């Protein structure tokens, strides 16, 4: 599935992200880990410019006057170059890295109660066992807040596989004994034959 910037999923996801950042605005020193940062800024066919979640988060962090360090990851070299240009004004407080798998162990060590892991893959299969699900228990063991976007297809060809991944995500959260909320915008009908439930899962720090 090709990513189309500024789609309905993006709008809902970014609204929840803004609310979450606002709720965390009393943080003294904020650490933001974005595992799938993309290009940062997207130039749309209609001439408009759309800020992806990484840029939106950095802008809001600046507006909220956080002292912060951001860690952005994008595995595609061309997209990473665009991301580096997009976040140029934040460069003194922002690392732009390649695929998160090379850096996740360091991020987990750095994470504390004033941290947010933003996990926003295009495909739910990026959660598969050898990827995000492999590291999710360790992220849940930190004091950080987690925001997991999980686009679950409910069409007949993918329902079983996607349902299994979603169950694994929620089982790991349950085992961590942490409170969470799943913000669902309903069924996404953007492609007619393809019905999709967009899970926006926020995992809160232990009280």
pLDDT at 84 over 70: yes
Q: Each residue of 163-180: pLDDT tens digit? A: 999 999 999 999 999 999
pLDDT of 184: 86
pLDDT of 34: 98
Q: Degrees (nearest 5) of the Cα angle 25, 37, 117?
A: 45
Give the integer Cα–Cα distance in Å for 108 and 25.
Answer: 21
Q: If you average pLDDT over residues 83-101, what whole number do you get?
A: 96
pLDDT of 28: 81
Q: If you average pLDDT over residues 57-73, what whole number do you get?
A: 94
pLDDT of 193: 46
Model confidence at 1, in pLDDT bands (50, 70, 90)? low
Give the integer Cα–Cα distance in Å for 104 and 169.
Answer: 18
pLDDT at 10 over 90: no
User: Does 189 or 201 have the greater pLDDT score?
Assistant: 201
Listed by start position, the domains of the chain span: 8-203
pLDDT at 11 over 80: yes
Give the integer Cα–Cα distance in Å for 38 and 35.
Answer: 9
Give the integer Cα–Cα distance in Å for 156 and 162.
Answer: 10
User: Does 164 or 2 have the greater pLDDT score?
Assistant: 164
Helices and strands: H and E segment counts in the chain: 6, 9
pLDDT of 5: 58
pLDDT of 147: 98
**Residue 142: what are its φ and ψ, rounded to 5°?**
-80, 180
Q: Each residue of 126-144: pLDDT tens digit? A: 998 679 999 999 999 999 9
The rounded mean pLDDT for the chain is 90
Nearest CA-CA partner of 107 in 57, 115, 82: 115
3-state secondary structure of 154: coil
CATH architecture observed for domain 8-203: 3-Layer(aba) Sandwich (3.40)
Highest mean pLDDT among 46-50, 171-175, 182-186: 171-175
Highest mean pLDDT among 4-13, 124-133, 175-184: 175-184
pLDDT of 33: 98
């Amino acid at each position: 599935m090709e990513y189309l910037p500024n789609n309905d999923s993006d709008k809902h996801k970014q609204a929840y992200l803004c609310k979450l950042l606002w709720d965390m605005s009393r943080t003294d020193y904020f650490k933001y880990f974005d595992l799938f940062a993309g290009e940062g800024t997207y130039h749309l066919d209609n001439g408009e410019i759309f800020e992806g979640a990484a840029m939106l988060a950095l802008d809001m962090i600046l507006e909220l006057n956080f002292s912060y360090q951001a860690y952005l990851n994008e595995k595609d070299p061309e997209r990473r170059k665009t991301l580096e240009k997009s976040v140029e004004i934040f460069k003194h407080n922002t690392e732009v890295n390649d695929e998160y798998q090379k850096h996740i162990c360091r991020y987990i060590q750095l994470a504390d109660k004033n941290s947010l892991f933003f996990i926003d893959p295009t495909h739910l299969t990026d959660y598969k066992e050898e990827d995000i699900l492999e590291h999710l228990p360790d992220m849940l063991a930190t004091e950080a807040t987690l925001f997991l976007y999980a686009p679950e297809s409910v069409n007949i060809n993918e329902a079983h596989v996607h349902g299994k991944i979603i169950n694994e995500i929620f089982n790991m959260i349950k085992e961590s004994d942490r409170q969470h909320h799943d913000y669902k915008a309903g069924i996404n009908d953007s492609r007619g034959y393809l019905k999709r439930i967009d899970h926006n899962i926020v995992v809160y720090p232990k009280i």
